Amino acid sequence: MNKLKQISVYGILIVSSIISIFPFFFMIVSATNKSVDVSSGKLLPGTNLFTNIKNLLATVEIGQALLNSAIIAVTTTVLALLVASLAGYGFEIYRSRAKDIVFNILLLSMMIPFAALMVPLFRMFGTISEIAPVIGIDTLASVVIPTITTAFLIFFFRQNTKMFPKELLEAGRMDGVSELGLFFRIYIPTMKTTYAAAAIITFMSSWNNYLWPLVVLQSPKNQTIPLLISSLGSSYSPDYGVIMLAIVIATLPTALIFFFLQKYFVAGMMGSIK
Amino acid sequence: METTNLNKSIKQKSEKYKFKPKKGLIGWIFILISVILICLFYFYPMLQALLLSFQSGAGVNLQFVGLENYTRLFSDPTFLAALFNTVIFFLIQVPFMIILALMFSVMLNNKKLKFKGLFRTAIFLPAVTSLVAYSVIFKYLFSNNGIINTILMNLSIISEPILWMSDPFWAKIVIILAITWRWVGYNMIFYLSALQNVDESIYEAARMDGASAFQQFFKITIPMLKPIILFTSITSTIGTLQLFDEPMNITGGGPGNATLTISQYIYDLSFEYTPDFGYASAVSFAIVVMIVFFSIIQFKLAGDKK
């Protein structure tokens, strides 16, 4: 009886692992195959990789899209970390009843679905376009600006600041460090793990963001990776090998982050529930 | 270096001085940028959406129409279809995924299990994919002559291909399977880390009293993990009620409107059809109401069990 139970546990885990990995396997193998072979269900690596690379470069501006996505994700991450950690620190270190009320009001914004904000934001950036076209509709800046601050990230930093050794600050004050100096010279260097985890969360969600760029970006030169994949996927005569290659390239950065920074990745997930 | 030096000097000083929050304006300066940005990009647009929802018209020619948009909701078959689909996705997918994630976490929490790390990584791996990228892969995997049908037929599970993409029922199943594939491992990690904090001796005591594995699961594991289950079910609820990327890229909302979600309908109303921003805003408040409603219900359910 116990043996049977053990076998079924391993059976379930093996089958589930195969199901989890199969789409990755399919994607990588298909990237090396001709379109016909992919649609006929070939599951062995082929020899068409270099042709697929050539065709991909010929049909879409994947280099430009990678660059756009990278610019957006890096800018968002740097600004988001700075703004949210300042706030998380402020709410916790300079705690007062009034600030706690403000904090709770900010948290309410997590309940607002993006679909409800999309139209007003689009109209807002339409107005901005008339005054300052460089940050208006169809610019990379317009993707970054509304996504810099999330209540989640402020919450994340506040939760982690609870464990920050506050004696460090008192000591700094004794040594005559200014309040802003305490933040930049003591808090930031001490909280490296928190920043790393927050950077991963923000980078991933910015890299993968789809709906807002779809709304606000129009010209092909501003296309991001998710927009490019989506338009490739919905083309009328799809070249499956080429599409799968594009997806492999799009998935690579986040997969590498996961494999090399797994510790911070999980810390980022857990940091929100401490 | 600087911090280690500081560390030493603190140890001496902290005995004399206890940390007190500093009063005054300085604290507000730290939170100022965030407060402005959240008001500007969340609360102000939300207010705008509310005002827009009382107006109607094509493009920028908007007129005040009172509650007309809201009454229109109840007689709009596309909205009702999108509402139905979204609720179905939420009611089936969220519990299905949470139960699977709980099952995996209990299995992987077993100390005697071999290849634990391998299984954990494999099941978590889907969580690193971009929503658009995995959606496109699923679209091809589940196409009518795709690899899933081929495999199922070779294994003699089915005798003829399932029309995943052209049958309203199966199209919904594909969306549910896809989201579950993407998020089970993610949720499992939360449960696993919570389970590691549960004292093993509780289970030992239960086994001594003759509790079965099922009883242990429902009487010990579930109550112990309740806060974290609540957290994951609320975040999953908010996510599923806003579903957009997957139906957009796997089924395009079809066949017919069988997988159309509310977010997708708002997008269509605003940017695909002749833009009707007023009505689109009224539709978006349907999601707001549902998020608040289902979150409260879940809090209540979790509270009552105590």
**CATH number for the domain that contains residue A191:** 1.10.3720.10
The number of domains in chain A is: 1
Q: Is the CB of A29 inside 8 Å of chain B's CB atoms?
A: no
Percentage with pLDDT > 90 across chain B: 38
Distance CA B209, CA A203 (A): 50
Q: Is the interface score ipTM higher than 0.90?
A: no
Does residue A209 sit within a domain?
yes
> What pLDDT does B13 receive?
46
Cβ contacts of B244 on chain A, cutoff 8 Å? 115, 210-211
Cβ contacts of A234 on chain B, cutoff 8 Å? 249, 252
Distance CA B247, CA A48 (A): 31
Cβ contacts of A230 on chain B, cutoff 8 Å? 132, 136, 248-249
User: What average pLDDT does range B104-130 have in this prediction?
Assistant: 89
* CB-CB under 8 Å, A170 with B136: no
Mutant choice from B13, B41, B86, B197 vs A, greatest count of A C-beta within 10 A: B41
Mention every residue, 6+ apart, whose C-beta is less than 8 A from residue B133: A226, A229, A247, A250, A251
The values of phi and psi at residue B63, to 5°, are -125, 150
The predicted-structure confidence for A64-120, as pLDDT tens digits, reads as follows: 999 999 999 999 999 999 999 999 999 999 988 889 999 999 988 988 889 889 999
Find, in chain B, the residue whose alpha carbon is nearest to that of A35.
B140
Domain that holds residue A154: 61-234
Q: Which domains does chain B have, with CATH numbers?
A: 77-304 (1.10.3720.10)
Distance CA B208, CA B218 (A): 17
> What pLDDT does B305 receive?
45
> What pLDDT does B83 receive?
93
- Of B9, B107, B122, which has the smallest distance from its Cβ to A171's Cβ? B9
* CB-CB under 8 Å, B238 with A94: no
Does residue A36 sit within a domain?
no
Q: Is the CB of A134 inside 8 Å of chain B's CB atoms?
A: no
Q: Is the CB of A8 inside 8 Å of chain B's CB atoms?
A: no
Cβ(B136)–Cβ(A34) below 8 Å:
no
* Top-confidence range, A223-227, B60-64, B201-205: A223-227
Does residue A35 sit within a domain?
no
User: What average pLDDT does range B12-33 have in this prediction?
Assistant: 68
Q: Is the CB of A179 inside 8 Å of chain B's CB atoms?
A: yes
> What three-state secondary structure class fits B64?
strand
Does residue A228 sit within a domain?
yes
> What pLDDT does B19 receive?
54
User: What average pLDDT does range B110-127 have in this prediction?
Assistant: 88
Distance CA A68, CA B37 (A): 23
Residue B193 has pLDDT above 90, yes or no: no
Cβ contacts of A250 on chain B, cutoff 8 Å? 130, 133
A151 residue type, one letter = A
* CB-CB under 8 Å, B126 with A23: yes
Residue A232 has pLDDT above 60, yes or no: yes
The predicted-structure confidence for B228-283, as pLDDT tens digits, reads as follows: 888 888 888 888 889 999 999 999 887 889 999 999 999 998 888 888 888 999 99
> What pLDDT does A212 receive?
94
